[in-house]
């Protein structure tokens, strides 16, 4: 067996009050794709920051070896010089700049001290072609799709000719076809002898691509498995330290009257063009209505419009609990009992620099008011109640919400929505980017809500989740509903509807 290109031995990383990594060991063989799996907060991000030189030598215990020799990175550039390139989850491209400008950012070809635009475009074209990317190097990257941008980012990293490529959740925002392209590119790079550390929440991907899998739990490396000799249940068991029997524990109960009904709804986007057309459906008390479809099918826009935060209504009527809900604003929607948990919690959900308590009670401050002032005692009691019920893991209600793991942040957003005592809850991708354990808890919350006689609309890109948690499913395609399905419909039928083939 050849010498590993990268090896971590008994790494311990402490922060004031917490041990983030507790004796983590793993090794990366040449030409191998090695997946790191673990729940949020298991220590993956910390480990990557160590490998990429953000946490320099001396801030941790244990040793890091690159190519058989101990590596003592003082900075990111040290790690880059050692041949380590990192692709982060958040894209690091300048959206206003063109693909070519981004590729050559910081190392622009010059002629007489000025940028040689011609050469830059020519070189970019060559590089893109070589990598098999069909992108015009002269258009701003903000006009590219997320998938193309992600691939461009990899190409940019490849220009530094790394030996080790670390991919941190590269597919979190990609559609299935984009994921396939990305995975095949990474496999190509492996064939060229590059070693990869691959981090993803999506286990199907992990199994599709990796040679070995190291599982982290609570900051420790639990085990390293051969991908060919294990399965996802095994990995999940190691990740959570227990067996999860039923991935989608939906308890369907009796449904009541229709709480939200939509008739003939058509909505125009900012440009005035119709985006959603002729949409009709209803949701009953105690029911989970799933809405599926591909990216751009209009699912999030539909929820945002119902909530009053997106689009201009052309026609149609929305009734909430019997009364007409005019297209208005979120303030009115919340007052009437309709609440939205958005898909992008950092953008639409949280005031990230503020505390857990600040965020949780933000939509419900009025109910704590005695005359003009907030009764902070009543507020704290309510916050505590919700954070306990939702099992938010935070040092205290005054902890800054940005410091929590994704799953706990999501629970804070859900807590904020539920504190408004809604009748209808719109959940847009409520389990995106959160770990298996937290997902289970979110499903539990959905069950509790319907048991209390509330109606839930669940938008999800994950077909198994949609099929597992919904009582009825609508599939959308290009702004229209392409079919209503009952629980138990096959995945093939649903997909066909999503692709507009019905």
Positions that interact with another protein (CB under 8 A): 307, 309, 329-331, 333-335, 340, 342, 347-354, 358, 362-363, 365-366, 369, 372-374, 376-377, 380-381, 384, 396-398, 416, 420
Sheet with 18-28: strands ordered across = 18-28, 6-15, 61-66, 69-70
Smallest gap from Cβ 58 to another protein, in A, equals: 19
Smallest gap from Cβ 330 to another protein, in A, equals: 5
Taking the CA atoms of the chain, what radius of gyration do you get in angstroms? 24
Query: Which contacts of 276-279 are long-range, i.e. CB under 8 A and separated by 24 or more positions?
Result: 276/301, 276/302, 276/305, 276/311, 276/479, 276/480, 277/479, 277/480, 278/316, 278/480, 279/316, 279/480, 279/481
Smallest gap from Cβ 84 to another protein, in A, equals: 25
Smallest gap from Cβ 216 to another protein, in A, equals: 25
- What does the DSSP 8-state code read for residue 345? I
Q: For residue 30, which phi and psi values (nearest 5 degrees)?
A: -60, 135
In the complex with another protein, the residue whose CB is nearer, 112 or 373, is 373
In the complex with another protein, the residue whose CB is nearer, 44 or 416, is 416
In the complex with another protein, the residue whose CB is nearer, 139 or 381, is 381
Smallest gap from Cβ 439 to another protein, in A, equals: 22
In the complex with another protein, the residue whose CB is nearer, 352 or 463, is 352
Dist. CA 247–CA 356, nearest whole Å: 28
Q: Which residues contact 5 (CB under 8 A, 6 or more apart)?
A: 28, 29, 30, 66, 67, 163, 164, 195
Smallest gap from Cβ 306 to another protein, in A, equals: 13
Smallest gap from Cβ 97 to another protein, in A, equals: 24
Residue 53: count other Cβ atoms within 10 Å of its Cβ: 23
In the complex with another protein, the residue whose CB is nearer, 115 or 369, is 369
Which residues pair with residue 213 across a beta bridge? 35, 225
Distance, C-alpha 198 to centroid of its chain? 16
Dist. CA 130–CA 428, nearest whole Å: 38
In the complex with another protein, the residue whose CB is nearer, 91 or 352, is 352
Smallest gap from Cβ 399 to another protein, in A, equals: 10
In the complex with another protein, the residue whose CB is nearer, 94 or 365, is 365
Q: For residue 268, which phi and psi values (nearest 5 degrees)?
A: -100, 150
In the complex with another protein, the residue whose CB is nearer, 224 or 331, is 331
Which residues pair with residue 485 across a beta bridge? 473
Coil/strand/helix, residue 496: helix
In the complex with another protein, the residue whose CB is nearer, 258 or 362, is 362
Dist. CA 357–CA 355, nearest whole Å: 5
Smallest gap from Cβ 29 to another protein, in A, equals: 39
Q: For residue 184, which phi and psi values (nearest 5 degrees)?
A: -70, -35
In the complex with another protein, the residue whose CB is nearer, 117 or 348, is 348
Smallest gap from Cβ 114 to another protein, in A, equals: 33
Strands 164-168 and 84-87: parallel
Helices (H) and strands (E) in the chain, counts: 16, 24
Please calculate the CA angle 188-191-197 and round it to the nearest 5 degrees: 80
Smallest gap from Cβ 213 to another protein, in A, equals: 35
In the complex with another protein, the residue whose CB is nearer, 121 or 459, is 459
The CA–CA distances, whole Å, from 227 to 38, 169, 351 equal: 15, 18, 40
3-state SS of 250-318 is: CCCCCCCCEEEEEEEEEEECCCCCEEEEEEEEEEECCCEEEEEECCCCCHHHHHHHHHCCCCEEEEEEE
């Amino acid at each position: 067996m050849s010498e590993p290109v990268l090896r971590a031995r008994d790494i311990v990383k402490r922060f004031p009050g917490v041990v983030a990594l507790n004796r983590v060991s793993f090794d990366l063989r040449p030409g191998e794709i090695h997946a790191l799996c673990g729940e949020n907060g298991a220590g993956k991000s910390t480990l990557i920051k160590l490998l990429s030189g953000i946490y320099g030598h001396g801030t941790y215990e244990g040793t890091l070896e690159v190519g058989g020799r101990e590596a003592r990175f003082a900075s990111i550039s040290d790690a880059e010089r050692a041949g380590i390139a990192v692709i982060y989850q958040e894209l690091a491209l300048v959206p206003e700049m063109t693909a070519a400008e981004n590729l050559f950012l910081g190392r622009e070809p010059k002629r007489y001290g000025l940028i040689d635009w011609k050469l830059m475009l020519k070189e970019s074209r060559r590089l893109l072609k070589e990598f098999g990317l069909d992108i015009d190097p002269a258009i701003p990257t903000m006009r590219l799709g997320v998938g193309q941008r992600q691939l461009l980012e990899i190409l940019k990293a490849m220009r530094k000719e790394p030996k080790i490529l670390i991919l941190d959740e590269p597919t979190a925002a990609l559609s299935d076809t984009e994921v396939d392209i990305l995975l095949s590119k990474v496999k190509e790079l492996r064939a060229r002898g590059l070693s990869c550390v691959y981090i993803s929440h999506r286990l199907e991907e992990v199994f599709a691509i990796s040679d070995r899998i190291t599982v982290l739990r609570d900051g420790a490396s639990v085990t390293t498995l051969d991908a060919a000799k294990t399965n996802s249940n095994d990995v999940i068991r190691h990740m959570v330290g227990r067996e999860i029997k039923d991935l989608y524990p939906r308890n369907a109960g009796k449904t009541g009257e229709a709480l939200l009904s939509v008739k003939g709804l058509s909505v125009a986007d900012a440009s005035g063009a119709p985006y959603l057309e002729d949409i009709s459906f209803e949701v009953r008390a105690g029911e989970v209505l799933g809405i599926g479809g591909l990216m751009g099918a209009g699912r999030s826009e539909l929820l945002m419009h119902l909530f009053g935060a997106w689009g201009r209504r052309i026609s149609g009527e929305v009734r909430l609990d019997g009364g007409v809900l005019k297209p208005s604003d979120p303030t009115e929607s919340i007052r009437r009992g309709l609440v939205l948990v958005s898909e992008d919690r950092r953008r639409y959900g949280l005031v990230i620099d503020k505390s857990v308590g600040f965020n949780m009670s933000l939509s419900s401050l009025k109910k704590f008011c005695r005359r003009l002032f907030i009764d902070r005692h009543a507020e704290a009691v309510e916050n505590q109640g919700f954070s306990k019920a939702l099992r938010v893991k935070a040092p205290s209600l005054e902890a800054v919400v940005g410091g929590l793991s994704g799953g706990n942040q999501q629970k804070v957003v859900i807590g904020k929505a539920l504190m408004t005592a809604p009748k209808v809850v719109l959940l847009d991708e409520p389990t995106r980017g959160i770990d298996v354990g937290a997902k289970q808890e979110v499903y539990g919350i959905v069950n509790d809500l319907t048991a209390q006689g509330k109606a839930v609309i669940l938008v999800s890109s994950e077909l198994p989740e949609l099929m597992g948690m919904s009582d009825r499913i609508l599939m959308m395609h290009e702004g229209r509903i392409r079919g209503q399905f009952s629980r138990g419909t096959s995945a093939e039928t649903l997909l066909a509807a999503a692709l507009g083939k019905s």
